[in-house]
Amino acid sequence: MPGTESLSAMDPILWLIIFFVVLAFAVIAERLFYFHRVSINSGDFLRGLSALLRSGQYNEALHEARQLPGPMARVVEAVLMRPRLARSELREIALEAAELEVFRVDRNIRTLLVCATVMPLLGLLGTILGLVDFYEQPGIIDGAASMPQVAFALRHALILSAIGISLSIPVYIFYMYLASRARKIVNNIERAGLECVHIICDARLRSSSDSSVSPKQTSEKTD
């Protein structure tokens, strides 16, 4: 049947689409698992950290940061390892550590955009190649093929375009969702690093002001 032979030209395209689908959903599963594993309550974490630092328990705060998973805790740990530096230096350390974590957060997400872009194009290419292969068969242009055969070939050629477009839609939706969630995590990472810098500097300032009170002033307050 002429229409059946023409479908052989679309088989490699179909396998390419399947490859990109498998790749896309592997990335989606990996990123969802990663985001779930590293998600922590930033508010509670920073409040507990502030309480430890204000009481001068730097080692306990560093231990707490090392116990938690994820990029936020690693950025805070990088700052807590050098608590005696100036505010500007601590800020640079926090931003540099956050930049290193951005790559881990954004890893493979752009692959979803590539898959969502390529799959409909592959479907369109498969449709065109299928129709070209069908009409290049002997006698097709001269009217040797019946209308049912032409309709059969056209239908199966268009199926590839439908497959590529329909599969690219959920992949693109997941890309937008994961990209938005990654941006939120990156913002929380930077915020946690800078908050840690402010907490450390404020705690140092408070401790230095308390120690600057002279014994004479203390005795006068006692009297």
Alpha-carbon Rg for the chain, nearest whole angstrom, is 31
Mind listing the pLDDT tens digit for each residue in 78-129? Answer: 888 887 778 888 888 888 888 888 888 888 899 999 999 999 999 998 888 8
Residues 6 or more apart in contact with residue 84 via CB below 8 angstroms:
none
* Of the candidates 12, 14, 15, 29, the residue with the CA atom closest to the CA atom of residue 111: 29
Greater pLDDT, 4 or 19: 19
Residue 167: is its pLDDT beyond 90? Answer: yes
Tell whether the model's pLDDT for residue 162 goes beyond 50: yes
d(CA 63, CA 49): 10
Q: Does residue 216 lie within any of the structural domains?
A: no
**Number of C-beta neighbours around residue 175 at 10 A:** 24
Query: What does the block give as tokens for 206?
Result: 């408070």
Q: Does 64 reside within a domain?
A: yes
Q: 23-74: per-residue pLDDT in tens?
A: 999 999 999 998 888 777 767 777 777 777 777 777 777 777 777 777 888 8
Q: Which amino acid is residue 153, in one-letter code?
A: A
Q: What is the mean pLDDT of residues 149-164?
A: 79
Cα–Cα distance measured from residue 133 to residue 115, given in angstroms and rounded to the nearest whole number: 26
* Host domain of residue 184: 2-138+145-209
Could you tell me what percent of the chain has a pLDDT over 90? 22
Average pLDDT of the residues of the chain: 78
Residue 205 pLDDT exceeds 80:
no
Return the pLDDT at 115.
94
Q: Is residue 103 part of a domain?
A: yes
Q: What are residue 56's phi and psi, to 5 degrees?
A: 80, 15
Total domains in the fold of the chain: 1
Confidence check: pLDDT of 170 > 80: yes
Positive or negative: CA dihedral 42, 45, 48, 52: negative
Residue 6's pLDDT band (boundaries 50, 70, 90)?
A: very low
- Asked, for residue 85, whether it belongs to a domain, the answer is yes
pLDDT score at 174: 95
pLDDT of residue 159: 86
Q: What is the pLDDT of residue 221?
A: 47
The string of DSSP codes covering 199-211 is HHHHHHHHHHHHH
Is 220 within a domain?
no
Residue 165 falls inside a structural domain: yes
